[in-house]
Chains A and B, each alone.
Chain A
């Protein structure tokens, strides 16, 4: 048992190191620093322009801080959720290393978790830059009235995203190079359904109901309450912050259990069908 835990820790540690190297090592540190600032700021500027065109009162509209915050923290969804699932496709098809990683005596799940950690670190950099730009450049006022809610929601949400990302990585083990679509489709769907950039009340009721069942909806709502003092969705207004956290605990635990189960099953199917070194060549 101790040996397996040690191997899992090795996987997390080295997976994180590798992930960070791949994300940051493609250019000089100075250029990477510039990229790390410009990319998220450019993303948020697109949102600002769209908002200025569409919304009354422009940035003074009371909804804007909520939309800004939702979009900012959605960077985690893109990076972590689709990033981890992409890891499998990238390691197998691009680097040709998945089979060697897999047959090393470490925990494959731990390795995926480590790659997720690297994505989380990178996303954190982007989120911090965006938040700073929002406060300084766009006049968004953030409060830290409920630091416990902020820390609790942030950690639970990130763990949840990592688990669901690993779950998608398990699915990606079984599909070919176009597997990257899985992560992107899920991340895109969540942007729409989780009320990232608009209130859920704007969605038709079946989609609204679906959105209310998704963990990122509650996560973003908890973060808005922690940093802005109020939420965005009227459907969730009856829930206390403690209840929101409780929902996050439950969905994170469910994500953890599902990811372990699904990755385990996907591994078995991949070994049975010989997919661990699949090169689709198209």
Chain B
């Protein structure tokens, strides 16, 4: 194995997608997908990229996996420049993209996986041993001889996860690996990922997700990314601790349609998100201190709002995102859905 300390390193990585005239959005012919991203992922780390849809997570992974060139900046995987020597990079990596139903439908699960093992030069007998072992770990041992077109989308996704781990890569890119899966399947995959890293402590995983609990549960460190920019990068507990000096409250109020307007201009409010539910307004508030709550409640009351519920919360990564970006991570998904 090559010697390197940093599994992934990027320096000012930027990617601009140029659009054709007919594809222009609001007159703009360019999309800035990554904006001077500088990042270091240690070898042996499970590193998370947390951000909403369209934040640039997949673009970053595609560049690191040599599927896309950056517009400017540098990226190194296993100490190798992804632009200068993509062929060598590919010998160290593998990638799984979630939310897909990819796979050669006419082949069985075992044949699909065996074929990929052959692409990586794994001896046939060893490949079959690994396939059966990994399929058992994700609860698909009885599906080895099933043709892929008979599988549900969740099972296909589990098969793809196995494909990624089958080659025992030094660095594995998991792009939204649990996207669109039911709760049980997602949990199985998270457990599998965690167990694999425990058994292979020298391996590195770079995982993208927009599920904060997934990042919180799995990742050694997390980078929060939005609109192509890395806004923070630390261990989940560090990010949350930083927020502990502030105060996080969840309020349910009635009799008001727009709390943001009512609370506008209050400097003690670090971040505020609101959404309507059952005729009430749910507010997520990050305040500079607990004492600030009194003036917030007074302002709401003056605007005609009645307090239905008030809870002080331990900060989550969602609150970290809210404090950094000014909107909730799930807001984009809400808009999309």
Residues of chain A touching chain B, judged by Cβ–Cβ distance below 8 Å, are 4, 6-7, 10-11, 13-14, 17-18, 21-22, 25-26, 95-97, 99-106, 111, 271-272, 274, 276-277
List residues of chain B with CB within 8 A of the CB of A276.
67-68
CB-CB under 8 A for A21 and B106, given A96-B101, A103-B65, A271-B67: yes
Of the residues A22, A99, A271, contact of B106 by C-beta under 8 Å = A22
B130 lies within 8 A of chain A by Cβ: no
B69 lies within 8 A of chain A by Cβ: yes
Nearest Cβ in chain A — how far from B147, in angstroms? 9
List residues of chain A with CB within 8 A of the CB of B107.
18, 21, 25
Docked CA distance A96–B159 (Å): 14
Given contacts A14-B115, A95-B105, 15 further A-B contacts (CB under 8 A): A4-B87, A7-B121, A13-B118, A21-B106, A21-B111, A22-B104, A22-B106, A26-B106, A96-B103, A100-B116, A104-B119, A104-B120, A105-B119, A271-B66, A274-B17
Nearest Cβ in chain A — how far from B214, in angstroms? 23
List residues of chain A with CB within 8 A of the CB of B104.
18, 21-22, 95, 97
Nearest Cβ in chain A — how far from B119, in angstroms? 4
Of the residues A14, A17, A97, A105, contact of B90 by C-beta under 8 Å = A105
Nearest residue, chain A, Cβ from B90? A105
Q: List 28 A-B contacts (CB under 8 A).
A: A11-B119, A17-B115, A18-B104, A22-B104, A25-B106, A26-B106, A95-B103, A95-B104, A96-B102, A96-B103, A97-B103, A100-B116, A102-B67, A103-B65, A103-B66, A103-B90, A103-B94, A104-B119, A105-B87, A105-B120, A271-B66, A271-B68, A271-B69, A272-B68, A272-B69, A274-B17, A277-B67, A277-B97
Docked CA distance A272–B15 (Å): 10
B60-111 residues with Cβ-Cβ distance < 8 A to A are 62, 65-69, 86-87, 90-91, 93-95, 97, 100-107, 111
Q: A10 to B119, Cβ gap below 8 A?
A: yes
Nearest Cβ in chain B — how far from A32, in angstroms? 12
CB-CB under 8 A for A104 and B90, given A21-B111, A271-B69, A276-B67: yes
Q: A100 to B163, Cβ gap below 8 A?
A: yes
Interface residues on B, range: 20 to 34
Nearest Cβ in chain A — how far from B108, in angstroms? 9
Q: A96 to B91, Cβ gap below 8 A?
A: no
Docked CA distance A4–B67 (Å): 19
Q: B95 to A100, Cβ gap below 8 A?
A: yes
Docked CA distance A104–B67 (Å): 11
Nearest Cβ in chain A — how far from B69, in angstroms? 5
Binary contact track B266-302/A, C-beta < 8 Å → 1, others 0? 0000000000000000000000000000000000000
Nearest Cβ in chain B — how far from A93, in angstroms? 11
Binary contact track B108-128/A, C-beta < 8 Å → 1, others 0? 000100011011110000000
List residues of chain A with CB within 8 A of the CB of B69.
271-272
Of the residues B62, B101, B118, contact of A10 by C-beta under 8 Å = B118
List residues of chain A with CB within 8 A of the CB of B118.
10, 13-14, 17
Which A-B residue pairs are the 5 nearest by beta carbons? A96-B102, A104-B119, A105-B91, A14-B118, A274-B68
Q: B90 to A100, Cβ gap below 8 A?
A: no
Q: A104 to B116, Cβ gap below 8 A?
A: yes
Of the residues B86, B90, B115, contact of A18 by C-beta under 8 Å = B115
List residues of chain A with CB within 8 A of the CB of B94.
103
Of the residues B93, B102, B103, B121, contact of A103 by C-beta under 8 Å = B93
Q: A103 to B95, Cβ gap below 8 A?
A: yes
List residues of chain B with CB within 8 A of the CB of A21.
104, 106-107, 111
Binary contact track B40-75/A, C-beta < 8 Å → 1, others 0? 000000000000000000000010011111000000
List residues of chain A with CB within 8 A of the CB of B62.
274, 277
List residues of chain B with CB within 8 A of the CB of A14.
115, 118-119
Nearest residue, chain A, Cβ from B83? A271
- Among B65, B86, B102, the one with the most A-chain Cβ atoms within 10 Å of its Cβ is B102
Docked CA distance A192–B241 (Å): 74
Nearest residue, chain B, Cβ from A268? B69
Nearest Cβ in chain B — how far from A255, in angstroms? 24
Nearest Cβ in chain B — how far from A25, in angstroms? 5
List residues of chain B with CB within 8 A of the CB of A100.
95, 102, 116, 163
Q: A101 to B119, Cβ gap below 8 A?
A: yes
Docked CA distance A243–B93 (Å): 50
List residues of chain A with CB within 8 A of the CB of B103.
95-97
Nearest Cβ in chain A — how far from B117, in angstroms? 9
Nearest Cβ in chain A — how far from B176, in angstroms? 14
List residues of chain A with CB within 8 A of the CB of B67.
99, 102-103, 271, 274, 276-277
Docked CA distance A4–B115 (Å): 19
List residues of chain B with CB within 8 A of the CB of A25.
106-107
Docked CA distance A229–B56 (Å): 65
Nearest residue, chain A, Cβ from B65? A103
Binary contact track B1-42/A, C-beta < 8 Å → 1, others 0? 000000000000000010000000000000000000000000
List residues of chain B with CB within 8 A of the CB of A10.
118-119, 121
Q: A106 to B119, Cβ gap below 8 A?
A: yes
Docked CA distance A272–B116 (Å): 25
Docked CA distance A271–B66 (Å): 8
List residues of chain B with CB within 8 A of the CB of A22.
104, 106
